[in-house]
Amino acid sequence: MSVLVDKNTRLVVQGITGSAGGFHARQCMEYGTNVVAGVTPGKGGQKFDGKVPVFDTVDEARRETGCNVSMIFVPAAGAADSILEAAGAGVELVVCITEGIPVMDMMRVKAQMAGKKSRLIGPNCPGIITPGACKIGIMPGYIHKPGNVGVISRSGTLTYEAVWQLTSRGYGQSTCIGIGGDPINGMSHLDAVKLFNEDRETEAMILIGEIGGSAEEEAAEWIKANCKKPVAAFVAGMTAPPGRRMGHAGAIVSGGKGTAAGKIDALKAAGIAVAETPATMADTLIEEMKGGKK
């Protein structure tokens, strides 16, 4: 009942000996994630917390442990290289938490990963979690609950808000994917929607977007033509002044494109229920589910 990650996931943590990497690797392990390896160049041969083997390269970690998903906490200056290292070693899913990566680095990463079988989530994202089975990232585990709603979001804390609303109302999540707020990232809203649409255990989806770019519009168009599951959405940034960058590099509005109003119109035109405020994301979806949409 999930997409991309589950009980069988074998995780390698790149940057495991750093303070953030170590802290969150431990949190993931406590949640039940199977962390099989760590990578920090120059620290090969050490054991993290006395049990997880640390390697110098992802290539070795992959050969020695069969890790199939990577979580990256490497500082921004080296993160693009780390993503390509994981992809080059054949790791199937690369989850990059690091924020502040220069956009040109991501442009080159994206071009080099095109056509390869590795998928990228992020960067500048909270990660991915299949509640009760596998947590990869920095989200607080306890707010989640196993269930059947897929959550896709560009923003971290706004995802927690949606998840908490669902959990408090008794609705669990199949998998929650934070795709990240950067202008150039890996998996898009649409990629995640397609996965959830095919997942038998996912019954409905919440799509959380924000101003900038056209990823929400693309997902809306596809949903209109192909998706039979109830979908609710929220777009942050109605009140953002044009031309200003608000935290996420993704959250920039310029030249009248990528506005919240434009995105909301596109989502509504696709038959998606759009929450009026961030406080009603779960309620909007629950109403759609009860209405027996389509």
Partner 1 sequence: MNIHEYQAKELLEKFGVATPPGKVASTPEEAEQMARELGGNDLVVKAQIHAGGRGKGTFTNGFKGGVHLCKSPKEARELATKMLGQTLVTHQTGLAGRVVNKVLVAKSAEIAREIYFAILLDRASAAPLIVASTEGGVEIETVAEKSPAKIMREPVDPLAGLQAFQTRKLAKQLAFDSAQLKSASKLFDGLYRTFIACDCSMVEVNPLVVTKKGEVLALDAKFNFDDNALYRHPDVAAMRDIAEEDPREVEASKHGLNYIGLDGNIACLVNGAGLAMATMDIIKFYGGSPANFLDVGGGATEEQVTEAFKILISDKNVKAILVNIFGGIMKCDVIAQGIINAAKTVKLSVPLVVRLEGTNVDAGKKLIAESGLAVIAADDLADAAQKVVKAAGGKK
Q: Which chain residues interact with partner 1 by CB under 8 A?
A: 20, 76-77, 99-108, 110-112, 126, 138-140, 143, 153-161, 164, 181, 183-184, 208, 210-214, 234, 236-241, 244, 246-249, 251, 255-256, 260, 276-280
Work out the burial of residue 114: count CB atoms within 10 Å of its CB; fewer than 13 is exposed, 13-18 middle, 19 or more buried. Answer: exposed
Q: What whole-number distance in Å separates Cα of residue 114 and Cα of residue 95?
A: 16
| Beta carbon nearer to partner 1, 103 or 269 | 103
Are the CB atoms for 146 and 124 separated by under 8 Å? no
Beta strands in the chain (DSSP E): 11-14, 35-39, 47-48, 52-55, 69-72, 93-96, 119-121, 127-130, 134-137, 146-153, 173-178, 204-210, 231-236, 273-274
24 is an active site residue:
no
- Minimum separation from the CB atom of position 269 to partner 1 (A): 19
- Minimum separation from the CB atom of position 60 to partner 1 (A): 27
Task: Give me the catalytic one of 24, 144, 189, 248.
Answer: 248
| Beta carbon nearer to partner 1, 61 or 177 | 177
Q: What whole-number distance in Å separates Cα of residue 291 and Cα of residue 294?
A: 9
- Minimum separation from the CB atom of position 191 to partner 1 (A): 14
72-83 burial, b for 16+ CB within 10 Å, e for fewer? bbbeeebbbebb
DSSP character at residue 252: B
User: Which residues participate in catalysis according to the annotation?
Assistant: 248
